[in-house]
Amino acid sequence: MNQFQYVRPSKQQAAIEAVAKDANATFIAGGTNLVDLMKRGVMAPQKLVDINRLPLTRIDHDPGKLRIGALALNSAVADDKQVREHQPLLVQAINAGASAQLRNMATTGGNMLQRTRCPYFYDTAMPCNKREPGTGCGALEGINRMHAIFGFSDKCIAVHPSDMSVALVALDATVLVSGPRGDRRIAFADLHRLPGDTPEKDTTLEPGELITAVEVPDNPFTKHVSYHKVRERASYAFALVSAAAALDLDGSTIKAARLAFGGVAHKPWRLTAAEQFLVGKPATEETFKQAATVAMQGAKAFKHNEYKLRLAPNTLVQALKNATAA
Amino acid sequence: MNNEPDLPPSHDEARRNFLKQSSLLTAVALVPAPVVQAATAELDERVAAAIEKVPLKLEINGKKYKLDVEPRTTLLDLLREQLNLTGTKKGCDYGQCGACTVHVDGQRVNSCLSFAVMHDGKKITTIEGLADGDKLHPMQAAFVKHDGFQCGYCTPGQIMSAVACVREGHADSEAEIREYMSGNICRCGAYTNIVAAIQEVKNGGQKV
């Protein structure tokens, strides 16, 4: 691993300045992804700014919204009484990710900012526009069974790996950010971006901007929720496809729905058209299948991931059935 | 001189690196001791730029350590290579197998994916710190009784994880144990016996 300078500021502003003024500096929190990438030479920051001393671990429920500090650990969020009461979909999604050990290390902010697990991104002997812009996309004509079916470009077909983010995009979360030019709020759906011509940029964050918290507004989705994740072993693997489903039911009629896919695009994939389709309809398998057809509009497969064109709608239908039965 | 073969730039580069390193060492010598000491809580850029190694205080298995470590040293490598606590194993070194599991302030973590300097002031428990003298921890005894291993390489990580699993309250059923132990891979496939060992400790009601 490359040598680097290590700093541990106790003030948020000092941390932000340290990263903003140095293009080779980066924040480190849990480190579960960054340390991995540094060991493999995929990332080689010259300076690590350890933010673990900043007071960003609180989880609060204020009237109307849940506020989760960026340094709240994944395990702490999933075990928190307020989160379990108000946002059970988020709890399911977090517990579907990684292992108990990693959830004890990974933070809320870091989980959102984890990099793709595309094997071409991870292998420095391979071309990858995300790792090294201009070198080409190894996955496009390579082994692409794990890759995107929505929103890709000819520069990058990688998928975002976070489970937690799939729930957060479905639940209309907002990301609170502090940077060298002050504070701002980003709708969760706008935090991650599509690859386009600049796949090296995963998010819309500016240099030096630090995620300080995420807010999730109160909603009626406290009972009929399901995060359904399909992977190649029963636990501790990234999703082939996952689906988040939250329903507000009046008897068997759907009053409102929130839906999103994971493992299908460069960002967590919100399914607003399918949500609208469900409103006012009966919560039956037939309706769910029709909604899944709506959800899949525009999907396109590559050589090895055609199975996702069947797996994704089936996963969504299963998530909706689970949510109804919950 | 166009025909001169391309020589690797190794001589010049090596010399440059040597000079860089010597000046860094001089810088370390010039940093007054109180500055280095003050750095343990907050480490500001002035100090970090001047020192190669970062001061680090840890309590490991009840013993206090005052160390100086390179920032890129993982907690796992510190334990094994510098402190000779080789009970904690290096399996994959990428957070995929769980062989390196230790407790930091009572929480199980992958020590391979964590820089040691990030744990300043924390309490670490490794497999060496679990037994009470010659008396095995109940989880260790249960692993022996149920044959919860074959080759034994993953066992320290399995046991550290299993103890945490029970303490966390995630050992209420076989399914829950399997889910919450999924971060520990056993390539010999001793899973059935590992689950039995954990269930015995959980149901035995002993203090873990």
Q: What residues of A are in the B interface, CB distance below 8 Å? A: 1-10, 14, 18, 28, 31-32, 35-36, 38-40, 48, 50, 52-53, 75, 98-102, 104-105, 234-236
Place of tokens 């340094």: A71
> How close are the terminal C-alpha atoms of chain B, in Å?
75
What interface predicted TM-score (ipTM) does this complex get?
Answer: 0.96
B63-69 sheet: strands from edge to edge: B63-69, B54-60, B123-125, B101-104, B107-110
Q: Secondary structure of B140-152 in the HEC alphabet?
A: HHHHHHCCCCCCC
Q: How far apart are CA B157 and CA A193, in angstroms?
A: 38
- Whole-number pLDDT of residue B3: 42
Nearest to B97, CA basis, from B111, B118, B85:
B111
Q: Which among A6, A39, A102 is the nearest to B117, CB-wise?
A: A6
Q: How far apart are CA A199 and CA A128, in angstroms?
A: 9
Place of tokens 């230790």: B102
Structural domains of chain B in order of their starting residue, each with its CATH number: 51-129 (3.10.20.30), 138-204 (1.10.150.120)
Spell out the residues 6+ positions from residue B163 whose beta carbon is closer than 8 angstroms to its own. B103, B130, B137, B139, B208
Q: Quick one: average pLDDT of A89-107?
A: 98
Q: Which among B115, B120, B178 is the nearest to A31, CB-wise?
A: B115
Shortest distance, CA B133 to any CA of chain A (angstroms): 27
Tokens at A147, concatenated: 């890759």
- Whole-number pLDDT of residue B207: 86
Q: How far apart are CA B82 and CA B73, in angstroms?
A: 10
- Whole-number pLDDT of residue B50: 67
Q: Which among B45, B165, B182 is the nearest to A7, CB-wise?
A: B45
- Whole-number pLDDT of residue B52: 84
Q: Quick one: average pLDDT of A117-132?
A: 98
B74 interaction partners in chain A (CB closer than 8 Å): 35
What are the C-alpha distances in Å from B155 to residues A82, B127, B159? 36, 9, 6
Q: State the CATH architecture for A224-325.
A: 2-Layer Sandwich (3.30)
Please check the confidence at residue A174 and state whether its pLDDT lies above 90: yes
- Whole-number pLDDT of residue A74: 98
Rounded mean pLDDT of chain A?
Answer: 98
Torsion B108-B114-B118-B120 (CA) sign? positive
- Whole-number pLDDT of residue B13: 45
Q: How far apart are CA A124 and CA A48, in angstroms?
A: 21
Residue of B nearest to A28 (CA): B118
- Whole-number pLDDT of residue B10: 45
Q: How many other C-beta atoms are found inside a 10 Å radius of the C-beta of residue B24?
A: 14
Q: Quick one: average pLDDT of A41-61?
A: 98
> What are the boundaries of each domain within chain A?
224-325
User: Quick check: B110 and A105 CB within 8 A?
Assistant: yes
Shortest distance, CA B91 to any CA of chain A (angstroms): 14
Reported pTM: 0.91
Residue of A nearest to B107 (CA): A104
DSSP A131: T
The single-letter code of the amino acid at B110 is N
Q: Which among A1, A53, A104 is the nearest to B72, CB-wise?
A: A1
Interface check for B131 against chain A (CB to CB < 8 A): the answer is no
- Whole-number pLDDT of residue B37: 45
User: Quick check: B48 and A32 CB within 8 A?
Assistant: no
For A321, counting Cβ atoms within 10 Å of its Cβ (0-12 exposed, 13-18 middle, 19+ buried), the class is middle
For chain B, list residues with pLDDT below 70: 1-41, 49-50
Spell out the residues 6+ positions from residue A188 whose beta carbon is closer than 8 angstroms to its own. A165, A168, A169, A172, A173, A174, A175, A214, A268
Query: What angle (nearest 5°) sits at the alpha carbon of residue A175, between those of residues A170 and A179?
Result: 160
Instruction: Go through chain A and tell me how many residues it has.
Output: 326
Report the relative pairing of strands A210-217 and A65-69 from DSSP bridges: antiparallel
Beta-ladder partners of A192: A203
DSSP A87: -
Collapsed DSSP state (helix, strand, coil) of residue B197: helix
B49 interaction partners in chain A (CB closer than 8 Å): 5
Query: Given its phi and psi angles, is residue A263 left (phi above 0), alpha (psi -120 to 50 degrees) or beta?
Result: left
Spell out the residues 6+ positions from residue A138 whose beta carbon is closer than 8 angstroms to its own. A120, A123, A126, A127, A128
- Whole-number pLDDT of residue B165: 98
pLDDT digits (tens, 9 = 90+) for A229-275: 999 999 999 999 999 999 999 999 999 999 999 999 999 999 999 99
Shortest distance, CA B108 to any CA of chain A (angstroms): 5
Place of tokens 């300043």: B120
Q: How far apart are CA B193 and CA B144, in angstroms?
A: 10
What are the CB-based long-range contacts (under 8 Å, 24+) for B177-181? B178/A234, B178/A235, B179/A234, B179/A235, B180/A100, B181/A100
Proportion of chain A above pLDDT 90, given as a percent: 100
